[in-house]
Chains A and B, each alone.
Chain A
Amino acid sequence: MGLIDNLEKYAQHQNLSKDKRVMFDSFIKKGFPTTSDEEWKYTSLKKVVKSDYNLLLEHTEIENSVINKYSLGVEDKIVFVDGNLVYSPEIKGVHISGFSDFDCRNNDVISKLNSALAKSGFTIVVEKNTVVENPIEILFFNLTKNSFSQYRNRITVGENSEIKIIENIQDLSKSSTLVNHFTHVSCNKNTKVEYNKIQNNCKDSTLIDCMNIFQKQDSVCEVNTLIFGGDFTRNNLNFEQNGTNCESNMNGISLLDGNQFADNHTFVDHKTAHCRSNEMYKGIYLGKSKGVFNGKIMVRQDAQKIDAFQSNNNLLLSDNSTIDSKPQLEIYADDVKCSHGCTIGQLDNEALFYMRSRGVGISEAKAVLTYAFASEVIENLSIPELKNLSQRLLAHKLGVDLDFSL
């Protein structure tokens, strides 16, 4: 069997429209990407493709106490259980509903698979001139064993509006699961959008995430990707700037141990002049974990006066962990400021001794220095609950009982 067979069987029983059929067929024809595909060179889906997944999700109910256990504790929550939208808050100026279909231009097979078959997801429309005060947490729970779930989400933020979102995917099925998550964000003129992904799923979960962000003039959009859990994670994050004075910010933490794998693929498409992008990804690798970073910045011919900054810093805390990091700059305009840097290192022994000489034990000293390494990203998180959770997860994963919030 395997995933392709599961999918073909499943698709036969779906009443796919002609367009979707075409899309699905083109997916079947190409199959999942392999490591001979440049974009998947270091990221093997072999194990995922070989597994059998359940595409028919159960209809389960979930107790509030379970929701609260996994929630960050913010007031406004959107909750999905096995693909069903079971709860959404009432917020003035914000319209929240379930799945509504939309096209996308993504040409990769996994996005096509999502386009063809996804039937779950959220739609958020923020009216013009609306500042949403409180962050919204979107929780996706899965209880179906060995499920393959696909979500297709859309956010449209009206002119002069602001919103902050936290995405939190949690598998409760105690089995190997796969999620194909696709999110489309439209940031209209003069909007401020912050999207946070807390990727702390259980250790048998696989996530393939794709996020497309379209920005109009004077918009600022920030995406924070915080990877602590999961077995295998691939994040595709694509920004497209379509107006002057746009700012695209993306920050990431990957803290992996055991056999965890995480790949961050980012792409910033500077199409218009007088825009900025800032990118800061920090990876911390323990055990036999493996990280991949691929950051592409494209500055098109008309996009003059661009300020693009990218950094990918990595800390290898074990001999068996690895990182493959690749910056890709394609610049066709002549008046741009573009910088990128990649570092791979270990903890500084002098600093370790310094801390130990002050009475801090070796594990705690390592944890403090690791936190120091990650702090630029964590301290930048604007939602206190999220910052706090990240600090706790970092301490927990490094096996220390330290409070980094001061």
Chain B
Amino acid sequence: MLKIKNLKAGIEEVQILKGINLEVKAGEVHAIMGPNGSGKSTLSAVIAGKEDYEVEDGSVDFLGEDLMDLDPEERAHKGVFLSFQYPVEIPGISVSNFIKTSLAEKRKALGLDPLPAKDLLKMMREKMELLSIKKGYLSRNMNEGFSGGEKKRNEIFQMAMLEPKLSILDETDSGLDIDALRIVANGVNKLRTKDNATIVITHYQRLLEHIVPDFVHVLHEGRIIKSGGKELALELEKRGYDWITKN
């Protein structure tokens, strides 16, 4: 589904990603771990199409298409979704209006009519239930005054509504307490199918107990320096990053 080859990207002459190679197949869950500042969020942003970053070399192929040629909205239409590490507050737009617009625009791009209001509401209700989101939340302004945990839950709610093929969850666990973590992780698991894939970015083993990865990668100074199975996450939890980064 996603093939990243020798990806080098940076900002204002500073190279942050220094040759990333990663392949994610449909149905898989990949975890990316790594110390602060190693480039995890940069990698997510480059995949999602943030224009601040300049891609210097390499390629990102998504379902046979070069992602780097596409605008962020086109990537979303193709099925890329990023759960932001820092979701943006948008005063003046309600959660429901935001999601309604996103979904309608995505459907428009795919040549579909907007969902009838009734079906849209039904879908929203189902997904809210999945994530134990309370009523009244839909009419709140997008992320405005949300707690850290509410923001993250809102990200996964959008993911549930937009039904992407590739979801990148950038530190979705930060800000969530243990109960919320379990609910959100359960939600993510329920949304998994053999046709979609998930990249989970996290610092902690904690989340990976709930969303069990097929592969774990360690990102350090813009490079993936080690990859392994889920046991690698446990080892990192015990020993920290030093034992890998020192070599």
Interface residues of A (CB under 8 A from B): 348, 350-351, 353-362, 364-365, 368-369, 371-376, 402, 404, 406
Contact = CB atoms under 8 A, between A and B. Distances in A.
A354 B93 CA distance: 13
B144 to A, nearest CB: 10
A246 B162 CA distance: 49
Nearest to B120: A406
A359 B90 contact: no
A374 B91 CA distance: 10
A351 B90 contact: yes
A135 to B, nearest CB: 25
Contact of B90 (A356, A361, A372, A374): A372
Given A359-B73, A402-B101, A354 B94 contact: no
A406 B100 contact: yes
B92 interface: yes
Given A354-B84, A364-B101, A402-B101, A359 B77 contact: yes
Interface residues of B, number: 32
A360 B109 CA distance: 9
Nearest to B110: A359
DSSP majority for the A interface?
helix
Which 4 pairs of residues, A with B, have the shortest CB-CB distance?
A372-B92, A359-B76, A359-B106, A358-B102
Interface string B74-94: 011100011010011011111
A368 B101 CA distance: 9
B2 to A, nearest CB: 16
Given A358-B162, A359-B109, A361-B105, A371 B93 contact: yes
Nearest to A360: B105
Contacts of A376: 92
B92 A375 contact: yes
Contact of A375 (B48, B93, B98): B93
A395 to B, nearest CB: 11
Nearest to A370: B92
Interface string B216-241: 00000000000000000000000000
A120 to B, nearest CB: 40
A97 B54 CA distance: 68
B82 A357 contact: yes
Given A375-B93, A406-B97, A351 B102 contact: no
Given A351-B90, A353-B51, A357-B76, 7 more contacts: A355-B102, A357-B72, A358-B102, A359-B73, A359-B162, A360-B105, A406-B97
Contact of A404 (B51, B97, B105): B97
B92 A360 contact: no
A368 B162 contact: no
B34 interface: no
Given A351-B88, A402-B101, A357 B49 contact: yes
B18 to A, nearest CB: 23
A355 B77 CA distance: 12
Interface of B: 48-51, 71-73, 75-77, 81-82, 84, 87-88, 90-94, 96-98, 100-103, 105-106, 109, 158, 162
A356 B72 contact: yes
B205 to A, nearest CB: 28
8 contacts: A353-B50, A355-B98, A358-B102, A359-B73, A368-B101, A372-B93, A375-B92, A406-B100
Contacts of A402: 101
B88 A373 contact: no
A354 B170 CA distance: 14
Contact of B73 (A356, A368, A371, A374): A356
Contacts of B101: 360, 364, 368, 402
With most chain B CB atoms within 10 A of its CB, the pick from A354, A355, A358 is: A358
A405 to B, nearest CB: 9
Nearest to A402: B101
Given A406-B96, A406-B100, A356 B71 contact: yes
A368 B96 CA distance: 13
Nearest to B45: A353
B109 A348 contact: no
B93 A359 contact: no
Contacts of B49: 353, 356-357
Contacts of B77: 359
Contacts of B48: 357
A375 B94 CA distance: 10
A390 to B, nearest CB: 14
A251 to B, nearest CB: 14
Contacts of A348: 88
B71 A362 contact: yes
A357 B81 CA distance: 7
Contacts of A375: 92-93
